[in-house]
């Protein structure tokens, strides 16, 4: 199935970019013939080409410039007319503003991949005004949220984590020692960019309660400052000091060897507010780590509560602390859950994700053809 993907970002920022690379890598398994248009220059252009996919850059400029938008749409339309794909897929809603308009009047079906929750912002609202033959959501949770706002069908497709990765550097105790922790004491950590919705402040308040019952616990926050929330780091430092955790929880910033840091943890916390999917959750489970995650959100579709992880409501430090303590105080229970977690992570491989994506696109295309 020939699919032209239009991607607004060409820099490896996070999950959306990783998801695109996973699809490119597994395209043959999914029966997809891909071609890419990037709306900006960046390292992903060369990465796509190295993986054997034709990729070009059509600069989009600013949405506020109608002349710029028209020029970009016209250029994408020329690609559609020459290559004749079955589907043009906007990778994220911003791309659909361009790709959806470019497909108008052609035989190519316009669709998009909703990589985050609909936020009601200008780009989000503009994208919903552009007709679509269907859409994908990065989880059933996201698909339901978007379905409530549009008339076309939105299908949930769970993303993937590269579960082939592992720390490969030793046992949990050895990794603790390597990273400067006491190998004889439990380590509870959280991984992610420093953004308020990621819930690091909730983690800190929960850890304050955990230390009262389990004073030997160690903690760590792994993640760098986000450009749009530079003040969140100062907020976390303040909370850490107020809760008496300065000597308990380390803040180590952005790290390149994240699997090593997660490999050193006995419990991995994912405390996000309305997480669209939760790639970190799958990555931790693939490392054989027990995860405590918050809902509502994508983690509820990954974790079977009480079997291969624990789920608690978001922004409830008491519930989060109770879940952490349940694991720390019951090592046999935690070990069994961690083994189940590793097995569960196999449901989210890059190949499975690519096949599910292709199946969803084919279903939407068949429905679109049947309606026309």
Residues 263-274: pLDDT tens digits?
999 999 999 999
Is residue 165 pLDDT above 70, yes or no? no
Residue 198's Cβ-count burial label (10 Å; 0-12, 13-18, 19+) is: buried
User: pLDDT tens, 290-314?
Assistant: 999 999 999 999 999 999 999 999 9
Domain co-membership, 196 together with 148: no
Domain co-membership, 136 together with 202: no
Q: What DSSP string runs through 130-146?
A: S--SEEEESSHHHHHHH
pLDDT band at 192 (very low <50, low <70, confident <90, very high): very high
For residue 78, what pLDDT is reported? 98
Domain co-membership, 116 together with 256: no
Domain co-membership, 339 together with 191: yes
Domain co-membership, 128 together with 179: no
- Contact in structure between 92 and 8 (CB atoms under 8 Å): yes
pTM value is 0.94
Q: Which residues contact 5 (CB under 8 A, 6 or more apart)?
A: 20, 34, 35, 36, 37, 88, 89, 91
Domain co-membership, 341 together with 359: no
Is residue 44 pLDDT above 90, yes or no? yes
The mean per-residue pLDDT over the stretch 250-258 comes to 95
Domain co-membership, 226 together with 244: yes
pLDDT band at 122 (very low <50, low <70, confident <90, very high): very high
Domain count, the chain: 2
For residue 65, what pLDDT is reported? 84
Radius of gyration for the alpha carbons in the chain, expressed in angstroms and rounded: 22
**Mean pLDDT over each residue of the chain, to the nearest integer:** 95
Task: State the CATH number of the domain containing residue 367.
Answer: 3.40.50.2000
Task: Read off the tokens for 103.
Answer: 């497909």
Domain co-membership, 245 together with 300: yes
Is residue 213 pLDDT above 70, yes or no? yes
Task: Read off the tokens for 169.
Answer: 């550097």
Comparing C-alpha atoms, which of 238, 245, 240 is closest to residue 211?
245
The mean per-residue pLDDT over the stretch 281-286 comes to 96
Please tell me the distance from the alpha carbon of residue 194 to that of residue 222, in angstroms, as a whole number. Answer: 9
How far is Cα of residue 57 from the mean position of the Cα atoms in its chain? Answer: 24
Domain co-membership, 151 together with 176: no
Please tell me the distance from the alpha carbon of residue 265 to that of residue 284, in angstroms, as a whole number. Answer: 9
- Contact in structure between 277 and 314 (CB atoms under 8 Å): no
- 167 occurs within a structural domain: no
For residue 15, what pLDDT is reported? 87
Domain co-membership, 270 together with 331: yes
pLDDT band at 4 (very low <50, low <70, confident <90, very high): very high
For residue 166, what pLDDT is reported? 52
- 290 occurs within a structural domain: yes
For residue 222, what pLDDT is reported? 98
Residue with tokens 């420093």: 194
Q: What DSSP string runs through 63-95?
A: TT-HHHHHHHHHHHHHHHHHH--SEEEEESHHH
Find the largest Cα–Cα distance for the chain. Answer: 67
- Contact in structure between 58 and 39 (CB atoms under 8 Å): yes
Q: Which residues contact 67 (CB under 8 A, 6 or more apart)?
A: none
Question: Which residue range is the domain that position 214 belongs to?
Answer: 172-347
Total Cβ atoms within 10 A of residue 20: 23
pLDDT band at 157 (very low <50, low <70, confident <90, very high): very high
For residue 21, what pLDDT is reported? 96
Domain co-membership, 132 together with 41: yes
The mean per-residue pLDDT over the stretch 244-250 comes to 98
- 355 occurs within a structural domain: yes
The mean per-residue pLDDT over the stretch 231-249 comes to 98
For residue 164, what pLDDT is reported? 63
For residue 163, what pLDDT is reported? 66
- 166 occurs within a structural domain: no
- Contact in structure between 141 and 161 (CB atoms under 8 Å): no
Phi and psi torsions of 44, nearest 5°? -70, -25
For residue 67, what pLDDT is reported? 87
- 215 occurs within a structural domain: yes
Peptide bond preceding 296 in cis form (omega within 30 of 0): yes
Phi and psi torsions of 246, nearest 5°? -55, -40
Is residue 161 pLDDT above 70, yes or no? yes
Q: Which residues contact 131 (CB under 8 A, 6 or more apart)?
A: 100, 104, 110, 152
Is residue 193 pLDDT above 80, yes or no? yes
The mean per-residue pLDDT over the stretch 315-319 comes to 98
Please tell me the distance from the alpha carbon of residue 95 to that of residue 101, in angstroms, as a whole number. Answer: 10
Domain co-membership, 146 together with 216: no
For residue 276, what pLDDT is reported? 96
């Amino acid at each position: 199935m020939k699919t032209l993907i239009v991607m607004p970002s060409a820099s490896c920022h996070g999950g959306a970019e990783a998801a695109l690379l996973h699809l490119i890598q597994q395209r043959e398994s999914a029966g997809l013939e891909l071609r890419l248009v990037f709306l900006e220059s960046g390292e992903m252009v060369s990465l796509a080409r190295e993986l054997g996919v034709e990729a070009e850059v059509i600069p989009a400029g600013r949405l506020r410039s109608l002349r710029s938008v028209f020029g970009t749409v016209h250029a994408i339309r020329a690609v559609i007319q020459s290559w004749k794909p079955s589907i043009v897929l906007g990778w994220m809603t911003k791309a659909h503003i361009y790709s959806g308009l470019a497909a108008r009047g052609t035989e190519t079906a316009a669709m998009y991949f909703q990589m985050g929750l609909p936020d009601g912002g200008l780009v989000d609202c503009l994208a919903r005004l552009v007709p679509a033959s269907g859409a994908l959501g990065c989880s059933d949770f996201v698909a339901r949220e978007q379905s409530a706002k549009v008339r076309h069908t939105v299908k949930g497709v769970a993303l993937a984590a590269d579960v082939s990765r592992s720390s490969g550097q030793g046992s949990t105790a050895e990794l603790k020692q390597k990273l400067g922790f006491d190998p004889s004491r439990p380590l509870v950590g959280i991984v992610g960019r420093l953004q308020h919705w990621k819930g690091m402040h909730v983690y800190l308040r929960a850890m304050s309660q955990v230390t009262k019952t389990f004073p030997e616990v160690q903690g760590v926050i792994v993640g760098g400052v986000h450009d749009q929330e530079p003040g969140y780091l100062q907020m976390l430092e303040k909370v850490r000091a107020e809760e008496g955790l300065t000597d308990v929880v380390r803040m180590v910033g952005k790290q390149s060897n994240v699997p090593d840091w997660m490999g050193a943890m006995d419990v991995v916390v994912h405390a996000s507010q309305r997480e669209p999917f939760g790639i970190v959750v799958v990555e931790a489970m693939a490392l054989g780590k027990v995860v405590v995650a918050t809902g509502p959100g994508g983690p509820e579709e990954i974790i079977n509560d009480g079997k291969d992880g624990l789920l608690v409501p978001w922004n409830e430090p008491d519930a989060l602390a109770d879940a952490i303590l349940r694991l720390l105080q019951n090592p046999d229970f935690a070990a069994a859950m961690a083994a189940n977690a590793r097995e569960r992570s196999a449901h989210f491989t890059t190949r499975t994700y690519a096949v599910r994506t292709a199946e969803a696109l084919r279903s939407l295309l068949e429905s679109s053809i049947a309606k026309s």
